[in-house]
Amino acid sequence: MCISTSEAAFSGTIVYCGRQHHPEHGLIHVLGYQNTAANLADGPNAMLLHLPTRQLTPRHFLSAGRTAAVLHRMVAAVESAAAAADGIAWMGGEPQPVQVFDHDVYTVVLATDPTAVPGALLNLNA
């Protein structure tokens, strides 16, 4: 589940966990997450969704659009991404210690060590 850095209200949370057979990597696990967030703080806020992984990279984030059927569209996005991989080593390579990137309306921070997140956020505002 997600948490926020300041007061917020989350509703309508839907979590999808599934398995998909990837033609190159075999069994892979898929996570879909959807909710409605309302910022109740006086200023900026952030939603944190903590996922324990060392191999997650920006290319693993797939856009599923903005409709009520987002989880159904997510499955379609994963199927088409797997079909379009065309030799890309999706699960290979060494992860970077901290990665900051925009995905849809979110700024995402991926860190192999959670203690590196504050420094990445300071550098983001510099």
Quote the tokens at residue 16. Answer: 């999808």
126 residues of the chain, pLDDT tens digit each: 688 889 999 987 778 888 888 888 788 888 878 788 899 999 999 888 877 777 777 877 777 667 667 776 766 777 666 555 455 454 455 556 788 888 887 788 888 888 888 888 887 766
Phi/psi at 18 (5° precision):
-150, 175
For residue 86, give every residue at least 6 positions away whose Cβ sits within 8 Å of its Cβ, in sequence order, or none: none
Angle CA 6–67–83, to nearest 5: 105
Of the candidates 57, 61, 52, 62, the residue with the CA atom closest to the CA atom of residue 93: 57
The pTM of this model reads: 0.54
